[in-house]
Structure 1
Amino acid sequence: MPTVPTEPTPASGARRVTLADVAARAGASTTAVSYVVSGSHRPVSDALRARIEAALVELDYRPDLAARALRTGASTPMVGLLVPHVTMPFFSQVADAVEREAGRHNHLVLFANTDFDPDKEAEAAARLIAAGVSGLIVLGEGDADATAAVCDRARVPVVWVHNDRGLTGLGTAERPSHGHVGADHVHAGAVATEHVLRGGARHPVFVGGFTVEETGLVRRDTVRQRFEGFLAAQEAGDPTARIVTDLSAGDAYRAVSRYLVDHTPDAFVVGTFGQAEAVVKAVVDAGHSVPDDIDVVTFDGGPVTGHELFPLTTVRQDLDAVAVNAFASITGTPGSSRTPVGFTLVQGASTTAPARSSGGAE
């Protein structure tokens, strides 16, 4: 098998491993190696891809980001941001925080929408890597194996924000270039539930779906974790005290409206902010008052401006800390990618109990 020369360079003391080196080790062409590294959909046989990926790991290949910038014409360093859809309130707030943090370090942000589609997410990751980003910040739900594989092949660091997507070994020898930044969603679910219990609720009900069958699209781990916190906060949490919905506001409205025909809960804990206003409308349209009859609390709402018609009580993550730690994870700037970020319960007009609970890094 060909060996890789290791003549020293003044900058590092060791010669940088190149695509040609990987090609020689794998017995492949540099073109085939380039296809694998860039995440291109050009045809490469499974056997050849396996040899190339093994050679990348064995030689510890790292892309030359400076050369990539020259090749793509990017004079300013860039990071990539993938979100399910930038028009959704939580994702747009994260995008804003990431862009501000990147600007502090003179980086540009390239972003793409993925529509909660794992295949589309992996394709977008490959496109951003080909465009010259030095790392990826990814928000999403469901299976992330395809996107993780694209990043691993390209040797580009990635940080999973808000949800670790069920990936294991983040930040360890198993996945050294992967990080995770987000709140403790189980704790957040407990804080939201304790808030309505303090206000006198005795029969709270959780609103939200989290399995693929329930959402009709992807697994929602964050919603499941919040439901776990909802149950843990009660002495005898009832796992049937949940209204199953898909991801839409319309389905939340219909499901809650049906539930209220035969049930009289005193609080709703809504798993996603995007469905909370629909829940409030369903309550009001059924002839009840919020919060006099039924409390409503949710998660990840936007900043309170004081001009909202009906501000919701929400458990809000520290998105500035999310952005700082996510950027640090992929660029090596000071920060942390291993500690849960804090959150605060912000009192709105949709609950009666005073807001006194918050949480954060343990």
Structure 2
Amino acid sequence: MQPNVNLTEVARRAGVSISTVSRTLNDTGRISEETRVRIRDVMRKMGYRPNRVARRLRSGGSCHLIGLIIPNIQNPFFADLARGVEDRARQGNFAVLLCNYDEDRAKEQFYLDVMRAESVDGIIIPPLSSTDPAVLKFASEGVPVVCVDRAINNATLDKVEVDNRAGACEAVAHLVARGHVRIGMIAGPAGSSTGRARLAGYRDALRQAGLPYEAEWVRHGDYKPESGRVHAETLLSLAEPPTALFAANGLMAIGMLEAIHARGLRIPKQIAVVNFDDLPLASVFNPPLTVVRQPAYEVGSAAAELLLQRIQTPGRAPVSLMLRPELVIRGSS
């Protein structure tokens, strides 16, 4: 490996012009496969590593790098979403820079600054809130942004969401159909679009069944297990506790189950449970969990597709996609 290898040296060794090496790097132009293979072989042997930022400054074009900033890498939904983003990006010859902001405003800002420093071609992000000023500022700088899973109110940005309201409504309607009239909900953050939509679906199902909405049966968590446990304890401690619980995501469901098992309650005979998100081992729990399964991989793939299209066609109208979740009925309800 040679230090500080540049395009000129690669071109000389491969016996081609600098422009041919550049077209090979950017996967553009008409180059024979034999020449392309020879150039890449020379690059590998010489240890050439292209500088993305320098390439972009020289060409005024793409550095073939997109950012994905997610709120919780421990959440299986976002792991599947990230795989969908990565697979589609790779098909387009783009690499993905993955960051985890942990539902923290300062960390979100830090990673947005990282994306600026890396001169990414665009980002995919579930905004921290439906008014997220940091994401709006980033988008105002001209960098393509696709909102995924969550949306920003009145923002003219591409977005890919799941129909959270319909999914929650179907889940709660299923509990009603099983004879439950006291249904508690561990909802998501009130400031997030997913939190509000899933709560709206819960209320829709109650209204359609002619059941009252009781504010004391709803607690807002933060999409993490501990909040699920704490709020389940609160709901189960009511003078007239719910006979069924609906958790607005899989991680809070884990905490909810911990609280239920700590009380020795049998599922579903003494308490029925349903949650948003299909956890990796949900089907082998005892009993298996009834869940609202989100098409996470497809959401990520669609978001990456929109971002690549936006990079190619910056001036097109914003696109909004809504994917449908699926109620998977198992033994917990």
Query: Is TM-score (shorter-chain normalized) higher than 0.5?
Result: yes
For residues 159-193 of structure 1, give each alpha carbon's deviation from its aligned partner in whole angstroms, at most 9, with x where no partner exists. Answer: 11111033x142xxxxxxx2111012111110111
Question: What does 1:266-345 correspond to in 2, within 5 Å?
Answer: 266-303=243-280, 307-308=284-285, 310-332=287-309, 337-345=319-327
Report the Cα distance in structure 1 between the residues aligned to 2:120 and 2:160, rounded to whole angstroms. Answer: 19
For residues 289-324 of structure 1, give each alpha carbon's deviation from its aligned partner in whole angstroms, at most 9, with x where no partner exists. Answer: 111222111112235685555542211221232123
Structure 1 runs of 4+ with >3 Å offset: 65-72, 302-311
Report the Cα distance in structure 1 between the residues aligned to 2:175 and 2:247, rounded to whole angstroms. Answer: 12
Contact 1:161-1:180 at 8 Å conserved across structures: yes
Contact 1:230-1:237 at 8 Å conserved across structures: no
Which structure 2 segments of 5+ residues have no match?
Answer: 1-51, 313-317
Please point out which of 201, 205, 230 is paired with 1:229.
201
Q: Larger deviation: 295-304 or 223-232?
A: 295-304
Please point out which of 128, 135, 146 is paired with 1:141.
128
Residue in structure 2 matched with residue 112 of structure 1 by the alignment: 99
For 1:193, the aligned partner's letter is V
For residues 101-145 of structure 1, give each alpha carbon's deviation from its aligned partner in whole angstroms, at most 9, with x where no partner exists. Answer: 222222211011112233432331232233132111002332422
C-alpha displacement of 1:231: 0.9
Alignment pair present for 1:191 and 2:155: no
Report the Cα distance in structure 2 between the residues aligned to 1:237 and 1:68, rounded to whole angstroms. Answer: 61
Report the Cα distance in structure 1 between the residues aligned to 2:106 and 2:184, rounded to whole angstroms. Answer: 34
Report the Cα distance in structure 2 between the residues aligned to 1:181 and 1:129, rounded to whole angstroms. Answer: 23
Alignment pair present for 1:162 and 2:149: yes
For 1:121, the aligned partner's letter is E
Residue in structure 2 matched with residue 220 of structure 1 by the alignment: 192
Report the Cα distance in structure 2 between the residues aligned to 1:305 and 1:204, rounded to whole angstroms. Answer: 21
Residues 1:308 and 1:260: Cα distance change in structure 2 (over 3 Å): closer
Residue in structure 2 matched with residue 348 of structure 1 by the alignment: 330
Contact 1:245-1:252 at 8 Å conserved across structures: no
Residue in structure 2 matched with residue 150 of structure 1 by the alignment: 138
Residue in structure 1 matched with residue 161 of structure 2 by the alignment: 182
Aligned-pair identity (%): 25
* TM-score, with structure 1 as normaliser: 0.67
* SS in structure 1 at match of 2:147: strand
* TM-score, with structure 2 as normaliser: 0.72
Please point out which of 77, 90, 93 is paired with 2:80.
93
For 1:343, the aligned partner's letter is P
Report the Cα distance in structure 1 between the residues aligned to 2:282 and 2:260, rounded to whole angstroms. Answer: 24
Residues 1:209 and 1:147: Cα distance change in structure 2 (over 3 Å): closer
Which structure 1 segments of 5+ residues have no match?
Answer: 1-64, 171-177, 212-218, 352-362
Question: What does 1:7-156 correspond to in 2, within 5 Å?
Answer: 69=56, 77-142=64-129, 143-153=131-141, 155-156=142-143
C-alpha displacement of 1:82: 0.4
* SS in structure 2 at match of 1:330: helix
* SS in structure 2 at match of 1:165: coil
For 1:244, the aligned partner's letter is R
Residue in structure 2 matched with residue 27 of structure 1 by the alignment: none
Please point out which of 222, 227, 230 is paired with 1:251.
227
Report the Cα distance in structure 1 between the residues aligned to 2:165 and 2:271, rounded to whole angstroms. Answer: 23
Please point out which of 178, 181, 202 is paired with 2:181.
202
* SS in structure 1 at match of 2:332: coil
Alignment pair present for 1:265 and 2:252: no
C-alpha displacement of 1:78: 1.5
Contact 2:294-2:325 at 8 Å conserved across structures: yes
Contact 1:209-1:245 at 8 Å conserved across structures: yes
C-alpha displacement of 1:281: 2.5
Contact 2:186-2:228 at 8 Å conserved across structures: yes
Q: Which has the higher helix share?
A: 2
C-alpha displacement of 1:236: 3.1
Report the Cα distance in structure 1 between the residues aligned to 2:66 and 2:125, rounded to whole angstroms. Answer: 11
For 1:339, the aligned partner's letter is L
The count of aligned residue pairs is 269
Contact 2:89-2:304 at 8 Å conserved across structures: yes
Q: Which has the higher contact order (CA 8 A, sep 6+)?
A: 2
Residues 1:71 and 1:268: Cα distance change in structure 2 (over 3 Å): farther
Contact 1:93-1:302 at 8 Å conserved across structures: no
Residue in structure 2 matched with residue 242 of structure 1 by the alignment: 217
Residues 1:331 and 1:222: Cα distance change in structure 2 (over 3 Å): same
Residues 1:128 and 1:309: Cα distance change in structure 2 (over 3 Å): farther
